[in-house]
Amino acid sequence: MTQLSWRKSSFCQEGEACVHVATAAPDAAVKVAGSADPGEAHLTLSPAAWSAFLQAVKNLGAA
């Protein structure tokens, strides 16, 4: 099993209620978690779905 390297969102404030993201390898599925222990439960998205999600969030910020 590949060890994931989780990164915390740069928009995270104090505390642990943050979004964490990890990938196993380039062009691999993107893992997304929203807790202090991201290894517990997470969503798995394709790179295309992750890109679409990020674009949608950016569009919300521009509205």
Please give the chain's pLDDT, 63 residues, in tens. 567 788 888 777 776 678 888 887 766 889 888 876 666 778 889 989 999 998 998 898 776
**Is 1 inside a domain boundary?**
no
CA–CA dist 35, 48 (Å, integer): 23
pTM tops 0.75: no
Q: Which of 2, 32, 5, 11 is nearest to 20 (CA)?
A: 32
Domain housing 52? 7-62
The count of domains in the chain is: 1
**Is 16 inside a domain boundary?**
yes
